[in-house]
Amino acid sequence: MGLPITIALVGNPNTGKSTLFNALTGLNQRVGNYSGVTVEMKKGTMSLSATESHEIIDLPGTYSLAPRSLDEMVSVDLLLGHLNDVKRPDVIVSIVDASNLERHFYLTTQLMELGRPVVVAVNMMDVAKTQGIQIDLAKLRETTGLPIIPIQANRKQGLDELKKAVVAAVGSSPPKPVLFPSLFGDEVKRLADLTNNTVEQFLIARWLLDVGGHTEKQLSIKFPPEVSVAVGQARDRLTDAKLGVPGVEARTRYGWIRERVGQAVKRPAQRVRTFSDRLDSVLIHRVWGTLIFFVLMFALFQSIFVGAAPLMDLINSGKDWLATRLDNLMDPGPFRSLLRDGILKGVGGVLVFLPQILILFAVVAILEDCGYMARAAFLMDKIMSKCGLNGKSFIPLLSSVACAVPGIMATRTIENRRDRFATILVAPLMSCSARLPLYFLLIGTFLSEPWWLPGVVLFGMYLLGFVTAPLIALLLKRTVLRGETPVFVMEMPSFKMPQFTTVLRRMIEAGWAFVYRAGTMILASMILIWALLYFPNKMPDGRSYDVALDTLKTDLEQMPKNDEKVEQTEETKANDEAREAKQGEIGSLAGDWQRQSYLGRAGLALEPVFAPLGWDWKIGMAALASFPAREVVVGTLGIIYNQGEVDSGEIKDSKNPGDTPLGKTIKEEWSENPVTGKYRVAVAVSLLVFFALCCQCVSTLAVIWRETKSWRWPLFTFVYMTTLAYAGALIAFQVGRQLIG
């Protein structure tokens, strides 16, 4: 043996397939991407000795090789060697669950028809034992004619035997497939002749069997319409012979399995009630199950909302510290500004999401690995189905209340593509934590009286998301994501202890995927917005704004500063006033700079667009500048209103945001506006509604692009949410104006 071989690892979900893949490959893994496909296929290297190593491909878990979507078709294409950049597998490893051998062999019998040797890895022998199931492996080898290797993937047992069996199987003759009724075989042959035998018989059989399946979709356009007609006629003939599709396949395969596998498996007459069964009945119990669910969801939400905060603060202060260092080390100019306000802010803006992503994926991986995820979906399915989604949409949407980025990434647990996309597209409507600084600022400034109003308005903001998201989901499912009712049959897997390494891997993969793929796009857009705010950088007198600002700041530092302990005198008062004046000068110069920047000019030019919302061009420009991230709007408002760079955390933490310098200035300025001054509260509500519904968040768009593998969906999300936000803000202002007027 010397030539590297390619091995495909196939199995049902919840079989321990990933655990086996990890155990076989260790850290030698990478993710393969295929165009138009939203599932990931992992490739890894399995080494047998210092000189011999082979490639192993982990296919997405599936119950059957009857492809219903492009995602499922890729597995079939890979196994048949139809993918350009992947060699056709030399050996197929079929991993099956010892405690439910019959059902798992269904997929195995399909794999036996691919013309390649199949090695069966029987996993979780221990679980079978606790259920009193006895498997006669020698008998199973004899009846099925396949190499059968017992393994315990989580304890790395049986791996050497499996590797040996795989290598030994290379080049051996493929297994004898399950014999279908001769009439069925005749029909497949006839159709194969019609296609001049240009397509594998496996695919012809799938075309015949899977009514409305993906094989039919692909092949019916590849061949003249007569072939499709012939397929229809063949189906009719089979039905007349009581061999109708799709039943003929399941009946034939299970017949074979009952005969061959059934012989080798002995089950106790009375099913043993296992710990998993008892746990199941508690966790889906009307009272206890619901209670446990809400406690778990609360813990999940708290862990991402609160648990991630210290780490996020750490990243933010690290960013600020570096920014100060840059200011001191470098001379003002475009390069420093690019480093500080473009790249540093961009990188910080990417990294700041990591704590939430890592925590959410740890929790999701644990819930999924132990089998609870299916129970959570079971409990929530009825409610979620009312808005055209399913039970598995709940956790991603809940997570989106903290942050849509990890929420959207968590939709990977939703198998149905249309439901998954609908969940992704409405997730950013949930009020995330990045909206809070603006909510607090505006509510504290304009809606703080009477005492109950702030709470009601804040609750209303969250409610707006909770109400809009299901409605939009329903609308999407009836329009752009319309399609036949998907099948919701979901397996309720047995409970098992989550694997630490599996959880850790999921976290690392999610974090890396975000930083590497989405991160670059986030960074690029941050730099773009920086450039639009930095240039042109020329004052009327010819100097650069940043040079002038630095001079002013140096002046300020050199001005006499009062010792707080010293009693106030005329002198200290004069010092204070001078410093205040200087600070005002800095603020107004920074404001001038922003206002004459390209983005500021765009805001001014777009004022007529913002006018119906009650906004002047300053508010409009702040909204435009917040495209990379919503929370930026507070900082931009600070600069535009000459208050310097206001930290969004400061607003969030202050007891009364209305009393902060920015709050006071906004109140003053908005009141003085000749047109909208009278309606400043309506303006505030209009801005609140806009930010509740808009998609001013590059990270969200980048992650949608990554998860849907297409530019169309992030673009669609941005357009529909901005339209919605505009309409909502318009209604808020116009109605508010009538009420106040």
Partner 1 sequence: MKTLDQLDPGTGGIVEAIAGPMALQQRLMEFGVLEGETISVLAKAPLGDPIEIQIGGTRLSLRKTEAAAIRLAESS
- Which residues are at the interface with partner 1 (CB under 8 A)? 63-64, 66, 68, 99-100, 102-103, 106, 210-212, 246-247, 249-251, 254, 280-281, 284-286, 289-290, 374, 377-379, 381-383, 385, 484-493
Give the CA distances from residue 582 to residues 379, 558, 664, in Å, rounded to whole numbers and listed in that order: 61, 11, 19
Burial 396-431 (b: 16+ CB within 10 A, else e): bbbbbbbbbbbbbbbbbbbbbbbbbbbbbbbbbbbb
Nearer to partner 1, 82 or 103 (CB): 103
DSSP assignments along 577-618, one per residue: HHHHHHHHHHHHHHHHHHHHSHHHHHHHHTHHHHGGGT--HH
Calculate helix-pair angle for 288-305, 354-370, nearest 10 degrees: 160
Shortest gap between Cβ of 104 and partner 1 (angstroms)? 9
Rounded Cα distance, 192 and 27, in Å = 43
As a whole number of Å, the CA-based R_g of the chain is 31
Rounded Cα distance, 327 and 6, in Å = 54
Shortest gap between Cβ of 468 and partner 1 (angstroms)? 23
Shortest gap between Cβ of 242 and partner 1 (angstroms)? 11
Shortest gap between Cβ of 64 and partner 1 (angstroms)? 5
Shortest gap between Cβ of 241 and partner 1 (angstroms)? 16
Shortest gap between Cβ of 199 and partner 1 (angstroms)? 21
Residues near 506 by beta carbon (within 8 Å), at least 6 away in sequence? 361, 362, 364, 365
Shortest gap between Cβ of 483 and partner 1 (angstroms)? 11
Shortest gap between Cβ of 263 and partner 1 (angstroms)? 16
Nearer to partner 1, 138 or 383 (CB): 383
Nearer to partner 1, 285 or 482 (CB): 285
Using DSSP, state whether 135 is helix, strand or coil. Answer: strand
Nearer to partner 1, 287 or 329 (CB): 287
Nearer to partner 1, 51 or 270 (CB): 270
Shortest gap between Cβ of 204 and partner 1 (angstroms)? 17
Nearer to partner 1, 284 or 510 (CB): 284
Contact between 134 and 265 under an 8 Å Cβ cutoff? The reply is yes
Rounded Cα distance, 56 and 29, in Å = 9
DSSP assignments along 611-679, one per residue: GGGT--HHHHHHHHHTSSBTTHHHHHHHHHTTS----HHHHHHSS-GGGSHHHHHHHHHHHH-TTTGGG
Nearer to partner 1, 385 or 562 (CB): 385
Nearer to partner 1, 53 or 220 (CB): 220
**Closest alpha carbon to 709 in 412, 362, 365, 391:** 412
Nearer to partner 1, 106 or 726 (CB): 106
Rounded Cα distance, 42 and 502, in Å = 14
